[in-house]
């Protein structure tokens, strides 16, 4: 069974500062690609669902957008508020967004909708808060064997988890378009994005991944998980600068609420 939004928020928020410091900077190119596809610019009223520590919102605000954020983790939302000042950042369950109907020109969700207990409800909520003619843009992991983080590094973490039942549903990358159509969105752009996550060094990469792997840390212990990560990340650390580079494929889809 999928963890509740409250449980997800507690796990993701446990190492919020590590995620903000080590994780989000590696995703800057991905955030930029999402903002480009969503058409976010001067004056766009933008909501980022699963905003984390606010990395995407900072970039959107720099473009002149009027931004709001939403996340399940209060600790991450607190960092976003620090970064963005008076911006409206709220916490809760993405299946029941605390925003009025038709509030935003553009809604984004970066690696978040797959964590919904019921993705259909999450996409329906994203559509509800989008204005007529507004865009809903989501990004999730793409084909696993095309993602170095998911195929070459994360198995070292997952091997330390207790046995789990098979996934109850297929990966969202395979079903997102159907959920978006069912929510009443007209599909506009569907495609794959290739992007490289670049971390300052192996420690930074490990800290970022630990921040997204709190349940494993609690089960196996930080030392064991960190050791496994350091070994798995070694082949991806540059001999010249020590930076860790992980090339990944993502699925990037935009649907538009009919005008």
Spell out the per-residue pLDDT of the chain, length 259, in tens: 567 889 999 999 999 999 999 999 999 999 999 999 999 999 999 999 999 999 999 999 999 999 999 999 999 999 999 999 999 999 999 999 999 999 999 999 999 999 999 999 999 999 999 999 999 999 999 999 999 999 999 999 999 999 888 877 889 889 999 999 999 999 999 999 999 999 999 999 999 999 999 999 999 999 999 999 999 999 999 999 999 999 999 999 999 999 9
Q: Is residue 110 one of the residues assigned to a domain?
A: yes
Kindly report the CATH number assigned to the domain that includes residue 184: 3.40.50.150
SS3 for 70? strand
Q: Lay out the sheet containing 88-91: strands in order across.
A: 88-91, 66-71, 45-49, 104-110, 130-141, 244-256, 186-199
Q: What residues make up the domain containing 182?
A: 5-144+167-196+248-256
Q: Is residue 28 one of the residues assigned to a domain?
A: yes
Q: Is residue 125 one of the residues assigned to a domain?
A: yes
The neighbouring-strand residues paired with 187 are 255
Q: Is residue 78 one of the residues assigned to a domain?
A: yes
Strand pairing report for 186-199 and 244-256 = antiparallel
Q: Is residue 226 one of the residues assigned to a domain?
A: no
Global pTM value: 0.95
Q: Is residue 160 one of the residues assigned to a domain?
A: no
Give the number of domains in the chain.
Answer: 1
Q: Backbone phi, then psi, for 195, in 5-degree steps?
A: -145, 150
CB-based contacts of 123, cutoff 8 Å, min separation 6: 113, 136, 179, 180, 182, 183, 185
């Amino acid at each position: 069974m999928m963890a509740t939004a409250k449980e997800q928020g507690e796990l993701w928020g446990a190492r919020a500062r590590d995620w903000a410091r080590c994780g989000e900077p590696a995703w800057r190119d991905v955030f930029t690609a999402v903002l480009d596809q969503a058409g976010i610019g001067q004056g766009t009223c933008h909501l980022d669902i699963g905003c984390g520590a606010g990395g995407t919102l900072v970039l959107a605000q720099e473009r002149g957008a009027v931004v709001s954020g939403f996340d399940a983790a209060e600790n991450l939302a607190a960092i976003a508020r620090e970064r963005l000042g008076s911006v409206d950042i709220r916490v809760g369950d993405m299946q029941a967004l605390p925003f009025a109907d038709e509030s935003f020109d553009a809604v984004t969700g970066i690696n978040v909708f797959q964590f919904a207990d019921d993705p259909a409800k999450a996409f329906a909520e994203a559509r509800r808060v989008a204005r007529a003619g507004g865009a809903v843009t989501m990004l999730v992991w793409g084909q696993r064997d095309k993602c170095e983080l998911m195929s070459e590094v994360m198995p070292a973490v997952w091997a330390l988890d207790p046995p789990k039942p098979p996934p109850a549903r297929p990966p969202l990358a395979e079903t997102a378009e159907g959920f978006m159509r069912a929510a009443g969105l007209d599909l506009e752009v569907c495609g794959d994005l290739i992007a490289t996550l670049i971390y300052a060094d192996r420690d930074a990469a490990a800290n970022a991944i630990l921040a997204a792997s709190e349940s494993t840390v609690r089960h196996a212990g930080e030392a064991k998980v960190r050791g496994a990560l350091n070994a798995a990340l070694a082949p991806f650390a540059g001999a010249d600068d020590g930076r860790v580079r992980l090339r990944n494929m993502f699925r990037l889809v935009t649907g538009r609420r009919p005008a």
